[in-house]
Structure 1
Amino acid sequence: MPRITAPAIGKLKGERKAVMITAYDATSARLADEAADMILVGDSLGMVVQGRANTLAVTMDEMIYHSRIVAQCSEKAHLMGDMPFLSYQTSPADAVANAGRFLKEGGVQSVKLEGGARSLPAIEAIVRADIPVMGHIGYTPQSEHKVGTGKVNRDADTLLKDAKLL
């Protein structure tokens, strides 16, 4: 059975809500594949699987390892890899190289990364490389050390601008 594609997910708009479930291992991948349109292999595995305090120390190699497991144990759901901290923030070239690794080595069909305007150069570069991208705005765990967000109207304005950019 072919996997659900990014364009097929886009076509769901107006028809029904798309379902996404996070998975990190064989068992959760099989269950998610039965219930969801999309499976996210999230960097939250740092906390959920590895017992870390946050997601910041998760590496590309760890994400690819878990993505490969989920890819091998699922058949239909669209697979999305969560770009870990500093895998795309350093340069657009690094963003493309790491997104490409996710597809080639991890078996995903798209990537997710945090940020709106601040991540736009990376997003544009990844899209130019023909890799589908999902943006993540609002509360972004990779920015947990940034103080004072979400409390004032300026933050709401930034969130709206980021949504429109993506």
Structure 2
Amino acid sequence: MKTRREPIVMVTAYDYATARVAERAAVDMVLVGDSGAQVVLGHSSTVQITVEELLVLSAAVRRGTRHAFLVSDLPFGSTELSDEQAIATAVRFVKEAGVDAVKLEGGSPPRLARIRAIVDAGIPVVGHVGLTPQTAVALGGLRAQGRTAESAARLVREALAVQDAGASVLVIEAVPAAVVGAVLPALRIPVIGIGAGAADGQVLVMHDLLGITEGTTAKFVKTYASIGGDMAAGVAVYASEVRSGAFPGVDNHYAATAEAIAAARAELANHRADV
């Protein structure tokens, strides 16, 4: 698709239902992001999700995904100790969840070593540079990168290094479009942008683009539906009808034969007699 200059569509999913939504929309790539820590599990940051939790989410998405290329984040703490740890974690996601590739954040020398090790083990890797939420504290918080000369130069170095380490795809997050545009011609692998201008493709969090996320979203988010509001309104109507007695109505009842009703009453009468 990169060679043909066809834009690549990527979206996150976290369970069977959202996977089916992505599949029905015919997206090209699905990411089981560690953002599930926030939008699914209710944590305050991505670092709190565990390997076991993300494996469950990834396996559910795999069951709902037939055609899209499936990628899972590797959680914070599951690759940092050694190349061996990184390979073992990546293997679990391939064997137990059935993902097509794993995603690692960062372009530091240790991160590059992990990418090489996982690729050498035969597992495709998606890199991620720019704003890397797992290590956002070290970057000064959840803020755009590449806006200063030093940060822009680092972005270029890391992007090229991740490619050279063997990554198959690169996500660039929250970086000025002009900076991404400067490095894009030197990148042979597909570049998926999120708040990074016009790259080879784009990715957004499913809950953000559908308007399910509560509160303020990042500047780069565009909302395409208001599902969250519709869901809350629907549940509110349901609650009101239950409280008023309007639900369930006759249309929601199962019919019973006269014989069944008589048998139930007879059984109740026998029970009372026994007591």
- TM-score, structure 2 as length reference: 0.55
Query: Residue 157 of structure 2 aligns with which residue?
Result: 161
Identity of paired residues, percent? 43
Query: Residue 92 of structure 1 aligns with which residue?
Result: 83
Q: State the secondary structure of the residue aligned to 2:130.
A: coil
| Correspondence 1:105 to 2:101 | no
Q: Distance in 1 between matches of 2:67 and 2:52?
A: 24
Q: Distance in 1 between matches of 2:107 and 2:136?
A: 16
Q: State the secondary structure of the residue aligned to 1:14.
A: coil
Name which structure has the greater RCO, CA cutoff 8 Å, separation 6+: 1
Q: 2:148 aligns with which of 144, 148, 152?
A: 152
Q: 2:16 aligns with which of 9, 13, 26?
A: 26
* 1:43 positional shift: 0.4
Query: Residue 132 of structure 1 aligns with which residue?
Result: 124
RMSD, matched Cα:
1.3
- TM-score, structure 1 as length reference: 0.89
Q: 1:49 aligns with which of 27, 37, 40?
A: 40
Query: Residue 117 of structure 1 aligns with which residue?
Result: 108
Q: Distance in 1 between matches of 2:44 and 2:54?
A: 17
Q: In structure 2, what residue type is equivalent to 1:123? A: I
Contiguous gaps of at least 5 residues in structure 2: 163-275
Q: Distance in 1 between matches of 2:150 and 2:134?
A: 21
Q: Distance in 2 between matches of 1:85 and 1:148?
A: 18
Q: Deviations over 1:98-154 (max 9, x none)?
A: 000000001101001100134100000000001000100000000122144835311
Contiguous gaps of at least 5 residues in structure 1: 1-11
Q: State the secondary structure of the residue aligned to 2:85.
A: helix
Query: Residue 3 of structure 2 aligns with which residue?
Result: 14
Q: State the secondary structure of the residue aligned to 1:99.
A: helix
* Higher Cα radius of gyration: 2
Q: Distance in 2 between matches of 1:152 and 1:17?
A: 28
